[in-house]
Amino acid sequence: MNASFAPDFLTWLPAWLVMQSAALLVVMPLLSGPIALVLSRGRLAWTWAIIISLATFAMALILYGQVLEHGSVEYAFGDWAPPLGITYNIDALNMLILLLVAGMGVLSLFYGLPSVLREIAPKDQAAFFAAFMLCLTGLLGVAITGDAFNVFVFLEISSISTYVLIAMGGRQDRRALTASFHYLILGTIGATFFVIGIGLLYMATGTLNMADITAQLRLHGDDRVVRAAFAFIVIGLGLKTAMFPLHTWLPNAYAYSPTVVGAFLASTATKVAFYAMVRFTLGVFLPGSPFSDAFLGLVLAPMAVAAMVICSVQALYQTDLRKLLAYSSVAQLGYMLLGLSMGTMAGVSASLLHLFNHALLKGGLFMGLGIFALSFGVRQVQDLRGLGKTMPVAAAAFAICGLSLIGVPLTAGFWGKYFLITAALEKGWWWAATAILISSVLAIFYVGRMLETMYLQPAPKTKGRSKKITAKAPLLALIPLVLLAVANVWFFVDASLPKGLADAAANVLFGGGAP
């Protein structure tokens, strides 16, 4: 969809649907969860979840058309004008996240049916899809709401449902229960820090509307209460984002959760939390103040570089494939935090572009591992032996996503790293550009180890490994994986959609107004 087509696209639709699309984006998956639970049968609940997720993605596209046409969209509930009423505010920044989360929700549900039927007890399958839809609701709500307290509410909706989804992996591996409990404890601590920060902001400004908070801070400036609120909010969101060194919950949560949960969370959950950090750091609090600049340059930048290098090294030594990709995710989040820490339009734009590309490639990698696990019980790096010949389509899609993780040209991952390095050099941060290159070299080794095992080592001589892909790979799982691999190539050839949204988002954050 392009800007000239957007107005025509919207005129084809009923006016009420266009006007209510912001509310429907959240209300539909919210109400669909209890209905999925009532359906009780797994396949029936999955069908219902697919229908609602497709409708939700359609609402995201309608909102995208409105943003292209008007620059930004405000939806006031009950026609109560802000700051008294609760509003949804949609601009280029959260539009990028809404499209990403809604799109990955659709792909994850299509992908997930074979794994859910295999990994989740029949009596729990409807509950699984109900929890999935509530998780989708929370992630979308965090991205769309303009009310600071509602960010907390939606964060908790997504977090609580995520604890349930991870724990459902206990049927396959009892360590999923421990991973879920660990995430629950740290997630609760993060939520507590965040809501304390919101309370301090309310005490300082007398409002919870994020735009009004910014206006009050511009009018009266900040003080010790505001700075304390800033610290609490950053720590709370840092735990949700898996910001180094607050990331300890993430590797086990990804490694032991059901296959589809790991794929969905890796591509959405931490991205939404990072969006919230960007929104509060640069969109609510005053960017350019000495306190804000000191945090970005002296605290966030070193933590980002540490994540990029240390977690890449940790990934090198992992033998469990999903833990390897989990540590890689923390390292890639370091790239995003580094772009944010630059405090420049170029840095933030590059960070958001990398966020989009990483969601596509990491979702593809986890989906590929899920297919390998469903087909041959693959869990360890050594289990990949010979899969390049045994499962050529799935292996090729997995390899493309792996090359995109490294940042190889002809894949979307190249552009995120390229623009991050460019932004770092523009700011004079040669050491940051060096850290990006070092981390990318380390990625060559741990991704290369997987590809070398898959393509250059012979398959074990077992009857199952001699079967062709058509006899083993579930088609529902294979199609989303191939689509993500194609997207990783397509968005190298034409990066106008994510790059345009990332540039427009940075423009909004730095006072350029709506695009």
Query: What integer pLDDT is reported at residue 54 of this predicted model?
Result: 95
Who contacts 135 (Cβ-Cβ below 8 Å, separation ≥6)? 157, 158, 161, 162, 165, 264
Residue 282 and residue 348 in contact, taking contact as beta carbons nearer than 8 Å: yes
Global pTM reads 0.90
- Torsion, Cα 476 480 486 492, to 10 degrees, reads 180
* pLDDT tens per residue across span 430-452: 999 999 999 999 999 999 999 99
Query: What integer pLDDT is reported at residue 8 of this predicted model?
Result: 65
Query: What integer pLDDT is reported at residue 405 of this predicted model?
Result: 92
Which has the closest alpha carbon to 150: 213, 63, 228? 213
* pLDDT tens per residue across span 352-409: 999 999 999 999 999 999 888 888 888 888 888 888 888 889 999 999 999 999 989 9
Residue 207 and residue 213 in contact, taking contact as beta carbons nearer than 8 Å: yes
Residue 189 and residue 239 in contact, taking contact as beta carbons nearer than 8 Å: yes
- Cα end-to-end distance, the chain, whole Å: 16
Who contacts 397 (Cβ-Cβ below 8 Å, separation ≥6)? 364, 368, 481, 482, 484, 485
Which has the closest alpha carbon to 104: 132, 64, 145, 125? 132
361-386 in b/e form (b: 16+ CB < 10 A) is bbbbbbbbbbbbbbbbebbebebbbb
Residue-range domain boundaries for the chain: 294-506
Residue 430 and residue 424 in contact, taking contact as beta carbons nearer than 8 Å: yes
pLDDT < 70 stretches in the chain = 1-9, 286-289, 461-473, 512-515
Residue 491 and residue 334 in contact, taking contact as beta carbons nearer than 8 Å: no
